Structure 1
Amino acid sequence: MSTVAPQDDTPVRGTTSHARELNVWWFAKLAVMAVLNALTLYGIYSAFMVQEWWILASLVAILIALNWVYFSKRMVPAKYLLPGVVFLLVYQVFTMGYTAYIAFTNYGSENTITKPQAIEQILSTGDVRVEGAQDLPLAVVRDEDGVLGFAVAIDGQVEAGTAETPLEVVDGATLGPTGAPAEVPGWVVLGLGDMAALQSEITSLRVPFSDDPADGWIRTQTGTVGFQSSPRFSYDESADAFTDVTNGEVFTPDDRGFFVGEDGTRLTPGWPVTIGVENFSRMFTDSRVSSALLQAGGWTFAFAFLSVATTFFLGLFFAMTFNHPAVRGRKVIRSLLILPYAFPGFLAALVWRGMLNERFGFINSTLLGGANISWLSDPWLARFSILAVNLWLGFPYMFLIATGALQAVPADVYEAAKIDGAKAFRQFRSITLPLLMISVAPLLIASFAFNFNNFNLIYFVTGGGPNIPGHPLALGQTDILISVVYKVAVDAGTKQYGLAAAMSILIFVIVGLVSWLGFRQTRKLEEVI
């Protein structure tokens, strides 16, 4: 008679721990997805509130893709591809596309906001004093959030408000000897010292009487007496035109993004409009821009080429020297040689700028015994200083990649060359350099592209100087193309972001063309080897 052994219902320990681990990972994924969904939904809400429909559509697409991919069991490859694709679209494709769009507009310091925003700002900033209005005793106050505002005495009552909140009656307020508000509950009354420090903010502040802009607002020139102002311009939405209420002059929109009167007077601010290829043509037809591009362009190519050449050959020299087995303490020396690479580039550039100071710099005052060498104010010495500083910053990178490439060259190749009677220089020219260039050439091309746009070094060491006297763009002798773009976009009196974007596209095309030619030569080198 056979008996059936009782079944053991005890779960396998490994299976239980595996299931528990899967649950932990699932809850972790759920938490991460909840955070991502919350952030994306907030972005969708913000885009809806400001009516940026293309941003809203993009965020909706990202939200759907995130949840579909990470909650589906069949989208395993997409789980790894999606983050990279999103970052590529946001940080590369969008940036390049938006720059290209700006290049075809007149976007600048006078044309930075949308047309509805420009209309609102013209209505809120253009004002005239109401004829016959009485002066009102006034005190400058701050609310609980520290926002500046006015408190005024009107018919024995105290009303207070800020630029964003119209005047409202404040109960329990008291008046001083001059009739101005002395104590305002919920508000801090500023003294003369505080008002003196905020004079420009106070004189430009406008506190509306009500939510209706037609009622005007309170302004002050002294900080103690206010007066009522009303909008100087009225806007007719059907005619899309402004009318100056003081003289009846009409302002209509032109093709440059401004409301313009019959005599050519413009109301500011304006709004960006598409101007076609005007920015691109200006780079070649405007003598101020073309001269800057030609002069800076020549130095840019020289700087990028010399930077790559000097750093590469110095790094290669140290790599070959300390790759030799007869050199003692190679590890320690290699560690010391890469120290410049460990320092932040902008900080090192500032240190070098101080060391190169003509009067107080360490190089002149200490190393050269009090010499008076104009390292940063003489054009050629400034260029030499830039290259020298870049050499100090850049050779450790070349030293690292050359060391790795040299260690990958088979030793028997050199042994065969020695047997054939090749000397050291012939080995370097016929074996080391060709084999090294196969792996290093792409990095040299990338280094050329980096130095072509090495804005930080120019900005922090010389600031583009020494300046060229009389140049309308304040061009300097060491300015490269990217620093010229910065001066056009930021330093110029009238900021021209559209022109700067067009110049950036030109730089992109130049770097792309040089990189393409360099990679073609690299492929030819591989075929020869």
Structure 2
Amino acid sequence: MSTQSTLDDTSTAAGDGDAPGRPRRRRRSPGTPHASGTVGGLVAKLVLMAVVNAFGVFAILAAWNEESYGILAAMVALLVAADWVYFSRRTLPLKYVLPGLAFLLVFQVYVVAYTGWVAFTNYGDGHNSTKEHAIEALLVQNERRVEGSATYPITVLERDGELGFAVVDEDGDVRVGTAEEPLAPVDGATLDGGTVTAVPGAELLDRRQVLERQDEVTTLRVPFSDDPEDGSIRTQDARTGYVSTSTLEHDAEADTMTDVTTGTVYSPSDDGWFVSPDGERLNVGWRVAVGFDNFSTAFGDSRYAGPFLKILAWTFAFAILSVVTTFLLGLFLAITFNDTRLGGRRIYRTLLIFPYAIPGFLAALLWSGMLNRSYGFVNQVLLGGADVPWLTDPWLAKLSVLLVNLWLGFPYMFLICTGALQSLPGDVMEAAKVDGAGRWRTWRSVTLPLLLVATTPLLISSFAFNFNNFTLIYMLTNGGPRFADASVPLGHTDILISMVYSVSGLDGTAAKNYGLASALSIVIFAIVATISAITFKRTKQFEEIS
């Protein structure tokens, strides 16, 4: 036997690190699972990934139906990445990183990118969709009854989840159709005195159901036949229907819309409208890119530029004063209740946290009622029936916003300052005393710098939060009182984010303008990001202290 063979046999018998003569433990190969431990984990992983894949396929199909191919591609990439990461042995770190990365892409990167895209379009009322959808809407919305056409008895029904009409034609036959399917004869339908009483595979709606879905019924258009020129059936009373055709005609080759009653030809414009030679435009447009028009409107249009500058100044003042006042009050209370000589500190600390435990939107709503000029608790009870316009005077409204935010925000600052004070190193404080530093000197040169090391990032986040504190403004003052000289629904206590909400038109006070609102959102993002970056850079000097 060779020397090498003897060495191999010895190492095999003893094993690496095993004592000679002891039974060698059998090593489990990397690919061999534990019999009892990993079976349950494998089953759980398969079930979880099956759920993830089901949701992923659902999102992909939804994106396909909506023709959102960018979202479709992103969802396919995320789904493939998830399957690869969680079924591969070489991607252990990614198993922990991928969920957070996926949420970051979906809820942060996508939202910012989509907002940026909308900011450079005319998306809003009249420009809600594509040009093809606008043409369809124009043809449908500009319909009129065909002269001399008959009136047909109809019955409203629901088939396969879609509303439709059952029509009795001139020959007494029943024809059924929906918005997607033209009228067609149906077998097995029953009539009673010219009224349809049953249709196989469909549910007839009674009068109560029709009234509940009145808007759907009156806007429903069922094609009369496969030929679009034959028009469609419409109804106003859900009992009788008539044939109507569009007064507009679209020429796909010339890309024009023609009013068949007047002969006026409308051509597409660069800003997403069909416009006639004399400047008249049709009432439905489509989304187009407008470049920096929304940004120039925000800063150059007198309707928005004047209020924008006022609101921008107040937003900075509100955010800065909110941070300063809440921090100073929270710090004062933290220092006070951090003194070991004070009895009952736990009870006092618990009471001070109560405002923080109440939901912010509810607290702001309560304060809105308490500060009411006519029947509020503050005027009627605390001030003995005074008539103080807390929420209707511009300056008092701003003061009220700051005071309410102080009441809501100081418990948070109290908590973080208490934690920071209790975590200060005792040896440093003791060294300051040994060096002869007095209380004020110790506070100014040791305690405060160390405190700022821990609290500055939280102060920056508090500034960013208050810069976008929409809930407080909306619930307390709704941005009021309104500017007297503004043509848009903006007020003295509006901040930039509430201005975006008003400009977007979601509150119903103005026409929807998502493009302009998105442009203002980009401006807010740039301001907060710039201030945060500068402030974080300046805080590096505190790190040297620690």
**What TM-score, normalized to structure 1?**
0.89
Shift of 1:81: 1.7
Q: Give per-residue Cα distances to partners, 1:215-246, cap 9 Å, x unaligned.
A: 21122345544321012222232222222222
- Report the 3-state secondary structure (helix = DSSP H, G, I; strand = E; otherwise coil) of the residue aligned with 1:234: strand
8 Å CA contact 1:203–1:220 kept in 2: the answer is: yes
Report the alpha carbon displacement of residue 43 of structure 1 after superposing the two structures with TM: 2.3
Cα offset, 1:419, TM superposition? 4.8
Q: Where do 1:359-508 residues align within 5 Å?
A: 359-419=374-434, 422-490=437-505, 491=507, 492-508=509-525
Whole-Å separation in 1 of the counterparts to 2:107 and 2:238: 48
2-structure distance, mates of 1:426, 1:182: 94
Q: Give the structure 1 partner of residue 537 of structure 2.
A: 520
C-alpha RMSD over aligned residues:
2.9
After TM superposition, give the deviation of residue 82 of structure 1 in Å. 1.6
Please list the CA deviations of residues 254-298 of structure 1 after superposition, one character each: whole Å capped at 9, or x if unmatched. 111122222323233222111111111122211111111101011
Pick aligned residue for 1:74 from 90, 100, 103: 90
Q: How does 1:276-291 map to 2 (within 5 A)?
A: 276-291=291-306
Q: Which residue of 1 aligns with 2:145?
A: 129
Distance 1:306 1:200 in 2: 50
Do structure 1's residue 183 and structure 2's residue 185 form an aligned pair? no
Measured after TM superposition, the shift of residue 159 of structure 1 is 3.7
Contact 1:282–1:289 (Cα < 8 Å) also in 2: yes
SS at match of 2:117: helix
More deviation in 222-231 or 461-470? 222-231
Question: Quick one: distance in 2 between partners of 1:525 and 1:121?
Answer: 61
Q: What aligned pairs does 1:9-88 form with structure 2 within 5 A after superposition? A: 18-88=34-104
- Deviates most, 516-525 or 295-304: 516-525
Greater mean alpha carbon deviation, residues 41-50 or residues 401-410 = 41-50
Aligned equivalent of 1:239, options 254, 266, 270? 254
Task: Report whether the alignment pairs 1:114 with 2:130.
Answer: yes
Q: Could you tell me how far apart the structure 2 residues matched to 1:17 and 1:47 are?
A: 39
1:350 is aligned to 2:396: no
CA distance in 1, matches of 2:57, 2:435: 72
Following superposition, the deviation at residue 528 of structure 1 comes to: 6.0
Q: Secondary structure at the match of 1:143?
A: strand
DSSP 3-state at the match of 1:477: coil
Would you say 1:315 and 2:354 are equivalent positions? Answer: no
Paired positions, count: 516
Does structure 1 conserve the Cα–Cα contact (< 8 Å) formed by 2:158 and 2:205?
A: no
Describe the shift of the 1:147–1:66 C-alpha distance in structure 2 as closer, same or farther (beyond 3 A). closer
Paired position in structure 1 for 2:17: none
Gaps of at least 5 residues in structure 1 are 1-7
Return the offset for 1:100: 1.1
User: What is the alpha-carbon distance in structure 2 between the residues aligned to residue 420 and residue 385 of structure 1?
Assistant: 46
SS at match of 1:266: coil
Tell me how far 1:49 sits from its aligned partner.
Answer: 3.4
Q: CA deviation at 1:95?
A: 1.2
CA–CA separation in structure 1 for the residues paired with 2:370 and 2:499 = 26
Secondary structure of residue in 2 paired with 1:380: helix
Supply the AA of the counterpart residue of 1:183. T
Measure, in 2, the Cα distance between the counterparts of 1:229 and 1:315. Answer: 70
Contact 1:182/1:189 (CA < 8 Å) preserved in 2?
no
AA at the equivalent of 2:445: S
2:228 to 197, 208, 213: 213
Identity within the alignment, %: 53
8 Å CA contact 2:450–2:545 kept in 1: the answer is: no
Distance change in 2, residues 1:398/1:114 (3 Å): same
Return the offset for 1:34.
1.5
The structure-2 alpha-carbon separation of the partners of 1:355 and 1:212, relative to structure 1 and needing over 3 Å to count, comes to farther
**Aligned pair in 2 of structure 1 residues 514, 355: CA closer, same or farther (>3 Å)?**
same
Letter in 1 for 2:537: R
SS of the residue 2:132 aligns to: helix
SS in 2 for 1:73: coil
**Aligned mates of 1:268, 1:394 — CA distance in 2:** 48
TM-score, normalization by structure 2: 0.87
Contact 1:292 1:484 in 2 (8 A): no
